[in-house]
Amino acid sequence: MARSHWRIGVAGLGTVGAGLIGLIAANPGFSPAGGACEVTGVSARSRARARPVDISGLAWFDDPEALARSEDNDLFVELIGGAEGPARAAVEAALRLGKPVVTANKALIAAHGKELAALAEARGAPLLFEAAVMGGTPAVKMLREALVGDEVEAVAGILNGTCNYILTEMEATGRSFAEVLAEAQALGYAEADPTMDVGGFDAGHKITILAALAFGCAPTLAAAEIEGVESIDLLDLRLAKELGYRIKLVASAVRSASGVSVRVHPALTPLDHPLARVDGVLNALFIQGARTGRIFIQGAGAGAGPTAAAVAADIADVMAGARRPVFQRPAATLEAFSPVSPAEATGRAYVRLIVRDQPGVIASISETLAEAGVSIDSFLQKHVEGAGGVPIVLTTHVAPEATIARAVTAMAALPAMITAPRVIRIARI
Ligand SMILES: NC(=O)c1ccc[n+]([C@@H]2O[C@H](COP(=O)([O-])OP(=O)(O)OC[C@H]3O[C@@H](n4cnc5c(N)ncnc54)[C@H](OP(=O)(O)O)[C@@H]3O)[C@@H](O)[C@H]2O)c1
């Protein structure tokens, strides 16, 4: 595909699409491979909507699929979003014609990555998606290209800036989840419907993609265990800090002899772990490689500038003749995902109880844990104004998660218990 001039069709003119059009207009020769590119056609939902960039000279398509099929562009960029609907149809249409595709769509790649990779590879068309994970911070290329000589054992990251902003602000200001969420919505950090972010689903899409890249398996969204931050309260943020941890929404993928485990959940992260020091809307990723050891990257996970820059880097790769498999290896050789069964999962947990202030409570808690076979690593009893009883916090040593769950159920039934125990896992990498 030796071409000196590339004509680009851009579907989606929102935050990222407008950012990309502005970037290319300002610097059409950004590709280090030489040559130039220009946006020739665009598509969005509303033609009448005012845009922050000038699209007056560009061909307009009501239908993104028609733009993807148009012979007036050589490269199709999909910035609409969503796993189904127009984004999927347009990407498939372009790939069927052998046209290179660049997308920032994590939902699409997490849900249909293997089929799209097979189509792209069969038609000899690059399919690149750097911006889909961590926006402007290059995580996809690092796992797909820079680390192919290593064996990645685990990845763990803070992959959702909205959740990290909310947790950081709650901790810093002592405000509740609901108050900080409302502020994040007013500042534009959180959507009007925040479910994708605070429910952990956005991070779930991203860790599904990273797991596929790290371990050479097909992206399998259904295998990710997902829990959000909605039920984190200030009391736990404060008590965790006293024990030497910060609570973060951690997305992780770990490979062991029993399979691969992919999870998103609030996790107590030791204060000296690099992930514990990530504040505000930043994203970060920690990688454990068998040969490389520990790698840590941190940067912007969203926003017009950083995300458009990641899309532009993929366009530059296409212009330079990118010819790699879509994932770390050809689609036909991606391994089936083999999840660790819940019965085999082990870990450590933080358990917070609110109990009546009466003699013998601590002894009954210790006996319950001992009977279940769970040993305690640390124990904290703390008077907290307004807690509605005496908060007791304990952290466990590593134990089967099913055993910890049984012990918690038994503790919940103790007569001194005022509220249901709160269990938060302790970060595993
Ligand atoms: N925002 C970020 O910082 C960020 C970071 C990383 C990845 N991403 C990913 O990048 C993609 C775009 O995100 P965004 O934030 O730019 O989204 P956005 O601001 O909501 O923009 C979406 C665009 O898609 C257009 N669109 C929606 N339905 C359409 C349809 N049926 N046909 C044609 N166009 C349609 C919209 O048209 P109208 O403008 O006319 O409504 C809008 O221009 C998503 O996959 C997202 O996950 C975003």
Q: Which CATH superfamily is domain 342-426 in?
A: ACT domain (3.30.70.260)
* pLDDT for residue 385: 79
188 compared with 325, residue with greater pLDDT: 325
The neighbouring-strand residues paired with 380 are 393
379 residue type, one letter = F
State yes or no: pLDDT of 192 exceeds 70.
yes
Query: Average of pLDDT values for 178-201?
Result: 93
For 103-120, what is each residue's pLDDT tens digit? Answer: 999 999 999 999 999 999
pLDDT over 90 (residue 164): yes
Does residue 138 have its Cβ closer than 6 Å to ligand 1? Answer: no
From atom 10 of ligand 1, which residue's Cα is the shortest distance away?
104
- Shortest CA distance to 286 belongs to which of 260, 326, 253? 253
Ligand 1 binding pocket includes 105 (Cβ within 6 Å): yes
With both helix axes pointing from N to C terminus, report the angle between 361-372 and 401-412 in degrees, rounded to the nearest 10.
150
Is the predicted pLDDT of residue 386 greater than 80, yes or no?
Answer: no
How many A from CA of 274 to the centre of ligand 1? 32
- Tokens found for residue 381: 């009893």
pLDDT band at 426 (very low <50, low <70, confident <90, very high): very high
Please tell me the distance between residue 14's alpha carbon and the centre of ligand 1 in angstroms: 5
Cβ of 64 closer than 6 Å to ligand 1, yes or no, is yes
Q: What is the pTM of this model?
A: 0.96
What is the percentage of the chain residues whose pLDDT exceeds 70?
100
Residue 365: CB atoms within 10 A of its CB come to: 24
**pLDDT at position 35:** 84
Helix, strand counts (H, E) of the chain = 13, 18
160 within ligand 1 shell (Cβ under 6 A): no
Does the beta carbon of 46 lie inside 6 Å of ligand 1? Answer: yes
Is the distance from the beta carbon of residue 16 to the nearest atom of ligand 1 less than 6 Å? yes
Confidence at residue 408, expressed as pLDDT on a 0 to 100 scale = 97
Instruction: Using pLDDT thresholds of 50, 70 and 90, give the confidence band for residue 2.
Output: low
Residues ≥6 apart with Cβ < 8 Å to 392: 352, 353, 354, 355, 361, 362, 365, 379, 380, 381, 382
Judged by average pLDDT, the poorest of 10-19, 29-38, 328-337, 374-383 is: 29-38
Give distance in angstroms: CA of 43 to centre of ligand 1. 11
Is the CB of residue 135 below 6 angstroms from any atom belonging to ligand 1? yes
The CATH number of the domain covering residues in 5-136+305-333: 3.40.50.720
Cα(106) to centroid of ligand 1, in Å? 12
Q: Which CATH architecture has domain 140-299?
A: 2-Layer Sandwich (3.30)
pLDDT at res. 56: 95
The preferred substitution site among 307, 311, 314 for testing ligand 1, maximizing ligand atoms within 8 Å of CB, is 307
Q: Which of 340, 215, 197 is nearest to 287 (CA)?
A: 215
Q: Average of pLDDT values for 288-298?
A: 97
Q: Which of 136, 117, 126 is CA-nearest to residue 19?
A: 136
Looking at residue 272, what is its pLDDT? Answer: 96
Would the pLDDT of 1 be above 60? no
The whole-chain average pLDDT of the chain stands at 95
5 within ligand 1 shell (Cβ under 6 A)? no
Q: Please check the confidence at residue 17 and state whether its pLDDT lies above 70.
A: yes
Looking at residues 224-235, what average pLDDT do you find?
Answer: 95
Tens of pLDDT, residues 336-360: 988 898 888 999 999 999 999 888 9
Q: For atom 8 of ligand 1, which residue has the closest CA?
A: 104
Closest ligand 1 atom to Cα of 17: 16
Decide: 41 in ligand 1 pocket, CB within 6 A. Answer: no
- Which of the 8 DSSP states describes residue 142? I
Rounded to a whole number, what is the largest CA-CA distance in the chain? 81
From 80, 210, 282, mutation site for ligand 1 pocket: most ligand atoms within 8 A of C-beta: 80
Q: What is the pLDDT of residues 197-223, one digit of tens each?
A: 999 999 999 999 999 999 999 999 999
pLDDT digits (tens, 9 = 90+) for 26-75: 998 888 888 889 999 999 999 999 999 999 999 999 999 999 999 999 99
Expressed in angstroms and rounded, the spacing between residue 16 Cα and the centre of ligand 1 is 7
From CA 145, how far away is CA 372, in angstroms rounded? Answer: 46
pLDDT at position 145: 95
Helix (H) or strand (E) holding 364: helix 361-372
Question: Sorting pLDDT into bands at 50, 70 and 90, what band is 387?
Answer: confident
Atom of ligand 1 nearest to the CA of 49: 40
Give CA–CA dist 347/334, Å, rounded: 28
Catalytic pick among 106, 114, 206, 248: 206
Q: Is the pLDDT of residue 273 over 80?
A: yes
What residue ranges do the domains of the chain occupy?
Answer: 5-136+305-333, 140-299, 342-426
**What's the confidence (pLDDT) of residue 131?**
98
What amino acid is encoded at 166 in this protein? I
**Looking at residues 400-405, what average pLDDT do you find?**
96
State whether the Cα torsion 236-241-245-248 is positive or negative.
positive
Catalytic (active site) residue 206: yes
